[in-house]
Amino acid sequence: MKPIIILVHGMGTHKKGAISEQFTAAVNGTAKDFLIDDFDIAKEVTMVEFHYSDTLDGIRKKLSENADAIKTNGFGALANAGVVEDVIKGLVGFEASFSNDSMFSTHWLDVILYGSSHFGELLRVDFAKLLNEQIRNANGSEIHILCHSLGTAVVHDAMAKLYRRDADITDQIPDLIPGAFNVNTLWTFANVSRIVNLLNGLEDPLDSLVTTGSNGCADYFFNIRHKLDPFTWFKTYNRAMDASKTFENEIVRKWNTHDFAEYVSDPFVTQRILNTFTTRTSQNASEKLSACIAKQKEKTINEAVDQLTIAAKTFQGRSISSFKDVYDAIKAVIDSVEKLKEDFENENK
């Protein structure tokens, strides 16, 4: 029976099917160096997506449209209203901009909407519904969850509410017993649950039931971060638990070190994925791993490594006490790297 893989995307707009395609391409690309050439992860597993991008886009659009209606029809009526006019125009103008394509609107607003508003519970309910349905229909198949970026917060918060020590099959609360309904593996890529926790104040990711074992919800936990991904520099997720492993990726083939596909295609990560989701073993695995690492390192963008390393030294260790601190720090890094990337690409045209 094929294992079931639940994929959960991160912040930003994602088309349905996109994360499955990214995952497949990343694993297959690296797998060529481990197994036979015609390996296809899509044939070995059943992929299920938790797609929440449309929900957040819909909320964002509604906020923007409502504000736009006021802006279009109401601002004329505010002429000469003084301070009131300024306040209303400020509030309305801000929300009317939610439909534009700035990084704030397409990425950060997702984090703010999820973390600071009741719409976060909507996403948690929807994820729990999907997970419960997969457990219900698994019929012996293994269940694995892979989540990236904002998805790590959604998954953590939803599972922290679904798995309950007080779970009782005789009441009407939807819940699962920790230890008895565990998923097989939980993979968090660029885990930002502690950053989002600054906004919503729900269960602390370092103390919740989202851990392994009989007081947890997974048999194994794999935490993957990249040394040069600024999203993992602040409120870094680092929790000691049994049956777990942390991968700290280092290869930089793209300026965007937060990219999900790049996280997956790291040789150590792909090796673990292949061993976990397929029952085929590889001959001479350690030699092949070394060869794969060497091959990927040939495509390193040294300029990106240098600049991100400097940024890491500047920003890591900074005092962080609020979400605004995190936002300001990450934005500063991204803005500086974007500029350098632009210069680099212009020079290398």
Site for another protein in 206-225 (CB under 8 A): 213-215, 219-220
Find the binding residues for another protein in span 75-134 (CB under 8 A). Answer: 77-81, 84, 87-88, 91-92, 94-95, 116-122, 124-126, 128-129, 132-133
Binding to another protein in span 290-349, by CB under 8 A: none
CA distances from 69 to 76, 160, 198 (A): 12, 39, 33
Scanning the structure block, which residue is given the tokens 């006490």? 321
Answer yes or no: are the C-beta atoms of 208 and 169 closer than 8 Å: no
Binding map of another protein across residues 254-273, x = CB under 8 A, - = no contact: -----------------xx-
- On the CB side of 242, CA atoms within 13 Å amount to 8
Q: Which of 276, 308, 333, 334 binds another protein (CB under 8 A)?
A: 276
If one asks whether residue 1 binds another protein (CB under 8 A), the answer comes out as yes
- Let me know the angle formed at the C-alpha of 133 by 131 and 138, rounded to the nearest 5 degrees: 95
Q: How far is the CB of 104 from another protein (least distance, A)?
A: 13
Site string for another protein, 224-253 (x = CB under 8 A): -------------------xxx--------
Check: CB of residue 156 under 8 Å from CB of residue 265: no
Which residue number, 280 or 299, has a Cβ lying nearer to another protein? Answer: 280
Distance, CA of 151 to CA of 153 (rounded, Å): 5
Binding to another protein in span 142-161, by CB under 8 A: 142, 158, 161
Other beta carbons within 10 angstroms of residue 299's beta carbon come to: 10
Q: Shortest distance, CB of residue 243 to another protein, whole angstroms?
A: 6
* Residue 311 beta carbon to another protein: minimum distance, rounded to whole angstroms: 31
Q: Which residue has the tokens 């779970």?
A: 167
Residue 169 near another protein by CB under 8 A: yes
Please, are residues 158 and 78 in contact by the beta-carbon 8 Å criterion?
A: no
Q: Which is nearer to another protein, 141 or 256 (CB)?
A: 141
CB under 8 A: which stretch of 6-14, 168-176, 256-264, 341-349 binds another protein? 168-176
> In the sheet that 4-8 helps form, which strands lie side by side, from edge to edge?
46-50, 4-8, 143-148, 183-189, 218-226, 244-249
Torsion angle of alpha carbons 112, 153, 150, 21, nearest 10°?
A: -150
CB of 49 to another protein, least distance (A): 17
Report the nearest approach of another protein to the CB of residue 165 (Å).
9
72 by DSSP, 3-state: which?
helix
Residues numbered 41-70 forming contacts with another protein, rule: CB under 8 A:
58-59, 62-63, 66-67, 69-70
Taking CB under 8 A as the criterion, which residues in 6-35 touch another protein? Answer: none
Q: What stretches of 1-111 adopt beta strand conformation (E)? A: 4-8, 46-50
- In the bound state with another protein, the residue whose beta carbon lies nearer, of 132 and 316, is 132
